[in-house]
Amino acid sequence: KRRFTTRVFLEFLKRLERQAHRPVYLIVDGHPVHHARAVQTWLQQPGRQIHLFFLPGYSPELNPDELLNHDVKSHLGRRRPHTQRELIHNLRSHLHRRQRQPHVVQNFFQEEHVRYAAA
């Protein structure tokens, strides 16, 4: 239930860098947090393994996240929750399942508009 802030994004980047043992190339949209001075300063520090690539404005079709969003909405639409807690549980369960199914996520990158990101 946290808002997406510069601090939250930096925490994510730091956790991602700790878990990755090689360079990470992250495709991001034009959200102001992605362009924040604190984020850019952190990324420019020597030895950083995170590299951001910015999507052009108003081009959600180029954003691989949209394919996962569609997958999630499609799945959740089949299981009507009765409470907010049940909705959150269903969402987390589905995302954890996708973590254990990297082949499904890799297939998202075969879509014509996001194939560039698989290179």
Residue 1: pLDDT band (50, 70, 90) is low
Q: Smallest Cα–Cα separation from 4: which of 29, 41, 26, 24? A: 29
39: number of Cβ within 10 Å: 20
List CB contacts of 2: < 8 A, sequence separation 6 or more.
Answer: 8
pLDDT value of position 117: 87
Written as one letter, the residue type at 100 is: R
pLDDT digits (tens, 9 = 90+) for 52-66: 999 988 888 999 899
Alpha-carbon gap, residue 76 to 29, rounded angstroms: 24
Specify the amino acid at residue 109: F
Question: What pLDDT, in 10s, does the model give residues 2-51?
Answer: 799 999 999 999 999 999 989 999 999 999 999 999 999 999 999 999 99
- CB atoms under 10 Å from CB of 97, counted, come to 11
